[in-house]
Amino acid sequence: MEEYEGLFPDDKRTDFRFESDLSLNLKYDDLVNKKHILRKGRSINISKDGLAFITRTPLPKILELPLEILLPQPYHVINAKARVVWRNDKKCSYGLKFTELESYDLTNLEQYISRPTDALRIVLDQRILSPVPRHKTRARKYELVTFKKASSEQDLRDIYSIRKEVFVKEDNYPTEAIKSSYDEEAIHFVAFENKKMVGTISVILDGPRGLPIQKFMDISRFKDKRMVQVEKFAVLPGRRKKTIAVALIVMAYEFAKLYADRICIFSLEKKKDNVSLYKKMGFRPVEKFNFYDIGDALLMILDIEKDSVYEKLPDRSKHFKRYIRKLSKTLGMKS
């Protein structure tokens, strides 16, 4: 068992944890006072392999304990045994890995986790994509990031708010440019940090109306292959950390490649960080155009078969690829 200064340890799990707030009954024997103790707790997140939880006061130095997980109706109470794999007594937070779980209870738990509800969001430890080296004992500050596909009018309003903050206030877009007639049919991926939406990116499939970029230039020479457009990539100032930005662009890529052979994206030329990120993914600048008289924009194209750098990431990045692909499938992107 390990102890951590942050809330969670570096994430080496093979299954996603989902945000949860479930009541727990924790049972263990007090060997000093020779009593059987029942303690209450609340889950923070849960998967079919284990969970993290908090209590009001620190737990004794126990290694394994029985517990009840009080799932809401129509699901049943789950009885399990679990091993304590990490602990943070200062924050009264602990991580458990299930050691005994009957098949009936496992099925019940899987049905609860996979239930169709917008409330289920994927938990991403900020450090999962760049784990702390083993020789370092000090854990980095924990931050909770969740990703999902936008699915409500409120999500869309929050997306417009982010676009206004980034595109209008920073880049001098005209206010009307934060909305698009394609928004209703687009797929929007959004990132939350501690339950606040902080980033967004949209994917638009080619159709009878064409793609939004065609308002500004002729792209017919690129349409000998199926195309999609990735657009309106925005992350709030102060939240532009590598994890959030890269995860959003890669999720958009993972979705786009299910439907097309080429992906187009554009950026104001002055947005050096965005242009650099796209180039690292394999996008190639093909043409400049004037964007709303606020500056030159670069149209960039990625031919998935020829240009994708992401598909050829070295072995040291396999953890990143595995994580994003699992994330993509959990968000409903299936080939």
CA–CA dist 80, 43 (Å, integer):
14
Q: Tokens at residue 117, please?
A: 């509800």
Give 164: exposed, middle or buried? Use CB within 10 Å, 0-12, 13-18, 19+: middle
CA 313-324-117 angle, 5° bins: 170
Q: What is the DSSP string of 226-275?
A: -EEEEEEEEE-TT---HHHHHHHHHHHHHHHTTT-SEEEEEEETT-HHHH
Give 101: exposed, middle or buried? Use CB within 10 Å, 0-12, 13-18, 19+: buried
- Domain covering 2-118, topology: Thrombin, subunit H (2.40.10)
Which pLDDT value is given to residue 282? Answer: 87
- Residue 12 CA to its chain's centroid (Å): 16
Which phi and psi angles does 303 have, rounded to 5°? -90, 115
SS3 call for 40: strand
Q: Domain 144-330: what homologous superfamily?
A: Gcn5-related N-acetyltransferase (GNAT) (3.40.630.30)
CA–CA dist 325, 244 (Å, integer):
15
CA–CA dist 267, 87 (Å, integer):
45
Contact of 211 with 195, CB cutoff 8 Å? no
Give me the residue spans of the domains in the chain: 2-118, 144-330
The per-residue pLDDT string of the chain (335 residues; one tens digit each, 9 = 90 and over) reads: 444 333 334 444 445 567 788 999 998 877 666 778 888 999 988 888 899 899 998 888 888 899 999 998 888 999 999 999 888 888 889 999 999 999 999 999 988 887 654 433 444 433 333 333 333 434 344 456 778 888 889 999 999 999 999 999 999 999 998 999 999 999 999 998 878 899 999 999 998 899 999 999 999 999 999 999 999 999 998 877 667 888 888 888 888 888 899 999 999 999 998 898 888 888 999 999 999 999 999 999 999 888 877 666 554 455 555 555 656 565 555 54
229 strand-pairing partners? 204, 264
